[in-house]
A and B are shown apart, each in its own frame.
Chain A
Amino acid sequence: MNGAGLHLSDVACLRGGRMLFRGVSLSLNAGASALLTGPNGVGKSSLLRLCAGLLPAFSGTVMRHGAVALADERLALDSELPLARALDFWARLDDSANGAVAAALDAMALAPLADVPVRILSTGQRKRAMLARVIASGAPVWLLDEPGNGLDTASLDLLGTAVAKHLAGGGIVVTASHQPLPLGAPVILSLTDHLPDPPHLLYPGEWDA
Chain B
Amino acid sequence: MRMLWLLASRDLAAAWRSSGLWLPVAFLLLVASLYPFAVGPDLTLLRRTGGGMLWIAALLASLLPVDRLIAPDRDAGVLDQIALRGISDEMVVLARLIAHWLGFGPPLMLATLPAAALLKLDGGTIAMLEAGLLVGTPALAALGLLVATLTAGLRSSGALAGLLALPLAVPLLIFGAGTLGDGSGAALKFLAAASLLLVAITPFAGGAAIRAGRE
Does A185 sit at the interface, judged by CB under 8 A?
A: no
Please give, as numbers and ranges, the residues of chain A lying within 8 Å of B83 by CB-CB distance: 53-54
Count residues of A near B (Cβ-Cβ below 8 Å). Answer: 23
Please give, as numbers and ranges, the residues of chain A lying within 8 Å of B85 by CB-CB distance: 67, 93-94
Question: In the docked arrangement, what's the CA distance between A52 and B214, Å?
Answer: 13
Question: In the docked arrangement, what's the CA distance between A89 and B17, Å?
Answer: 15
Interchain nearest-CB distance for B62 vs A (Å): 24
Does A80 sit at the interface, judged by CB under 8 A?
A: yes
Known interface pairs A92-B6, A93-B3. Does A74 touch B82 (Cβ–Cβ under 8 Å)? no
A-binding segment of B71-79, B106-114, B198-206: B71-79
Interchain nearest-CB distance for B79 vs A (Å): 9
Please give, as numbers and ranges, the residues of chain A lying within 8 Å of B76 by CB-CB distance: 74-77, 79
Q: Which residue of B lies closest to A76 (CB)?
A: B77
Report whether A53 and B84 are in contact in the complex, using a CB–CB cutoff of 8 Å. yes
Q: Which residue of A lies closest to B87 (CB)?
A: A93
Count residues of B near A (Cβ-Cβ below 8 Å). Answer: 21
Please give, as numbers and ranges, the residues of chain B lying within 8 Å of A193 by CB-CB distance: none
Report whether A74 and B10 are in contact in the complex, using a CB–CB cutoff of 8 Å. no
> Which of B6, B7, B18, B76 has the most chain A CB atoms closer than 10 A to its own CB?
B76
Question: In the docked arrangement, what's the CA distance between A52 and B17, Å?
Answer: 31
Report whether B80 and A80 are in contact in the complex, using a CB–CB cutoff of 8 Å. no
Mask of B50-82 contacts with A, CB within 8 angstroms, 1/0: 000000000000000000000000011110111
Please give, as numbers and ranges, the residues of chain A lying within 8 Å of B14 by CB-CB distance: 78, 80
> Which of A54, A90, A94 has the most chain B CB atoms closer than 10 A to its own CB?
A54
Does A70 sit at the interface, judged by CB under 8 A?
A: yes
Within 8 A of A (CB), among B117-175: none
Within 8 A of A (CB), among B7-63: 7, 10, 14, 17-18
B-to-A contact residues, CB < 8 Å: 3, 6-7, 10, 14, 17-18, 75-78, 80-87, 214-215
A-to-B contact residues, CB < 8 Å: 15, 52-55, 67-70, 72, 74-81, 89-90, 92-94
Instruction: Give 5 new A-B contacts, CB below 8 A, not counting A69-B84, A76-B80, A80-B18.
Output: A54-B84, A68-B84, A72-B77, A72-B80, A77-B76
What are 21 of the A-B contact pairs (CB < 8 Å)?
Answer: A15-B215, A52-B84, A53-B83, A54-B80, A67-B85, A70-B80, A70-B84, A72-B77, A74-B77, A74-B80, A75-B76, A75-B77, A76-B77, A76-B80, A76-B81, A77-B76, A80-B14, A80-B17, A81-B17, A89-B6, A93-B87
